[in-house]
Structure 1
């Protein structure tokens, strides 16, 4: 698929975020548009105005790594944005098609028994998702933590982004800071779109959400991207209250394109006690309580 539109919108949006003062440039006269001018970006990156204008029109195929690095510095891209720029360039070159692992079509992915054993060995919540934010596998506590997501979507493989924007009552209950969760989910989806522009299911998902949710459409147009490796998240479950959890996310070498996320509570905290209570409902011999607010 041609990614010229994505390249163009991404570069324009990043240029608009940098002021002359941010770049250490003097300001002369009134400026009709926010951010830097094309001439200023070109000068900062050490390329001709004509060449930068060509890049901003989406013709990024063939750009060298040194040019992309210079562009990233000129636009003050963070690590996630820089990686996204390189992914867009590789996609334009057609190199990502050869780099992507072959996937078996049609059949829904199922965790290998050994992987499910590993998940179940964790006493804290553990989940596996793909780049489209489909929730593919959980351990017992991960399933209980996301019971509201399964209930709201009615799907055996729920999607976090679809849940966030289309199941608003349940999503606002589950995410006390809904705006942050919404921004993060769209940024992760945008990152995946740059990494794999040939994913038809992802394009279909973006099209569906853009049609059905103005909130999604507005965030998607911002072209923000981010990595999602570690941090803290706040959740709310009706049965046990707020859960403030640290998380670590790692790419799965054995399953390219999938991410394993492990959650943990600070020892001795209220969240740790709440997780202990939730865990008491996840035993195979006990029917878990329905968490309507999760």
Structure 2
């Protein structure tokens, strides 16, 4: 899809979510042809002419000032993730260079891997914006075992597994929430990195092969994903629900370290201990028979 199409559909979808009452406007009559605000109402709230707002919603954000973008964001009551996405789309439309550090490519530094491995009591992994898992610690690999079919597999993609692998739905028991989170993260990354050919290739593959992904993608939802809770149905330890914290790595732009924990004394903490024991057993088997390929999941 083109940047103009993304802008048009994003703004139209956000406008459809805001009612006149939510915007503090009188709702004249009951026969409105649009589910949310009209274009002229957004223009009024943003303090721009109707013709100018129509031009913006047609995808022509190039040349729009930061003040105008902020006014439109306020009129549409965008949250932080949506505002950032709007600014990213404006930069892509104007073909302005994104004012961010160059995104990390190539192998992870050994020092980063050592930090990851030092987190011995928590499953943890490092991913990029495409949701490629680039590195894990022992518990992280054990938690995401179904994504790694054998010990020779070093990387995996969460979205591709979730939507294209038959085991994905079972592994993520809170399916609707997990589905929407994954798609929203990819949509956010698409705004940040519109020229990432690996990302556009992944999205094209998912749109083509998964109706569920295609439907969710069309909603143009975006989100920030820093902390929360996530459930897994692990093939060896059952359902476990963990707290997660996702931290950007400033020295490795574009990469995120995610760690999972559970409060001591809870069933989920017990499940983590069981996962650690399972991982130790798998490691022992690997040492005793290094040539074997261990099917996990």
Provide TM-score, normalisation by structure 2. 0.91
Q: Secondary structure at the match of 1:231?
A: strand
Shift of 1:230: 0.5
Shift of 1:98: 6.1
Shift of 1:103: 5.5
5+ residue gaps, structure 2, are 287-293
2:290 counterpart residue number: none
Q: Distance in 2 between matches of 1:119 and 1:102?
A: 20
Q: Distance in 2 between matches of 1:268 and 1:240?
A: 17
**Matched-pair contact (CA < 8 Å) for 2:46–2:72:** yes
Q: CA distance change for structure 1 residues 269 and 12 in 2, over 3 Å: closer, same or farther?
A: same
Q: Distance in 2 between matches of 1:62 and 1:286?
A: 61
Q: CA distance change for structure 1 residues 99 and 121 in 2, over 3 Å: closer, same or farther?
A: closer
Q: Distance in 2 between matches of 1:57 and 1:266?
A: 49
Shift of 1:102: 6.0
Q: Distance in 1 between matches of 2:59 and 2:7?
A: 5
2:289 counterpart residue number: none
Q: Distance in 2 between matches of 1:2 and 1:281?
A: 47
Shift of 1:22: 1.3
Shift of 1:34: 1.2
- The answer to whether the aligner puts 1:80 opposite 2:77 as a matched pair is no
- Count the aligned residue pairs: 286
**Matched-pair contact (CA < 8 Å) for 2:160–2:206:** yes
Q: Distance in 1 between matches of 2:230 and 2:165?
A: 19
**Counterpart mapping for 1:19-30 below 5 A:** 19-29=19-29, 30=31
Q: Secondary structure at the match of 2:221?
A: coil
- The answer to whether the aligner puts 1:239 opposite 2:240 as a matched pair is no
**Matched-pair contact (CA < 8 Å) for 2:103–2:252:** no
Q: CA distance change for structure 1 residues 65 and 98 in 2, over 3 Å: closer, same or farther?
A: closer
Q: CA distance change for structure 1 residues 255 and 5 in 2, over 3 Å: closer, same or farther?
A: same
**Counterpart mapping for 1:113-132 below 5 A:** 113-122=110-119, 123-132=121-130
Q: Secondary structure at the match of 2:149?
A: helix
1:92 counterpart residue number: 93
- The answer to whether the aligner puts 1:6 opposite 2:45 as a matched pair is no
1:63 counterpart residue number: 64
**Mean Cα deviation higher: 181-190 or 1-10:** 1-10
Q: Distance in 2 between matches of 1:275 and 1:213?
A: 32
Shift of 1:183: 0.5
5+ residue gaps, structure 1, are none
Q: Secondary structure at the match of 2:114?
A: helix
1:45 counterpart residue number: 46
Counterpart selection for 1:194 from 191, 212, 215: 191
- Alpha-carbon deviations, 1:54-89, whole Å to 9, x = none? 100111012111111111111011111111111111
Shift of 1:95: 2.6
Shift of 1:235: 1.0
- The answer to whether the aligner puts 1:18 opposite 2:15 as a matched pair is no
Q: Distance in 2 between matches of 1:103 and 1:265?
A: 31
